[in-house]
Amino acid sequence: MDELYRQYSQILFHFLYTRCQDRELAEDLMQETFLKALESLDSYDGSCKLSTWLCQIGKHLLYQHWSKTNRTRLEELDETLESGHDTQQHAMAKVELADVWERLQNLSPDMRRVVELRVLGDLSFREIGNLLGKSENWARVTFYRAKLTLT
């Protein structure tokens, strides 16, 4: 595994960093990717390059991170709104939540459905594709494009 790490760590780090633009997050995800790869090395079938397989694991972990982060932020906003203790904090949370919902409403109906099913419904891309009568890849691409639009 040390040899694999030396050989592929820079490629994987660069791949993750270009997507998240956060050095610490990219490093954390790189470490987690190698851990996941070690745990599932027997599932690598050789149908693609090892670097491609590692990048796919890393990309999946990055999407999981984004999904958790967005869900956590919405939950924090919701809790702040429900508590009602600090009027200024309450007002700021309302404005931020309204901004998030407004940006979601500006997405195309397909993008909005995919984001809602992925982030709020916690469905896999395969499940989303099946639910909407599309492919798993369509769901992935639509979600990616929605993220670009929202950021």
- Per residue in 85-114, pLDDT (tens digit) is 555 665 666 666 666 677 777 889 899 888
Spatial separation of the C-alpha atoms in residues 66 and 151, rounded to whole Å: 12
The answer to whether the pTM exceeds 0.85 is: no
- Residue-wise pLDDT for 20-76, tens only, equals 888 999 999 999 999 998 888 888 888 888 888 888 899 888 888 877 776 666 666
Distance CA 96, CA 104 (A): 12
Nearest Cα neighbor of 92 from 114, 77, 103 is 77
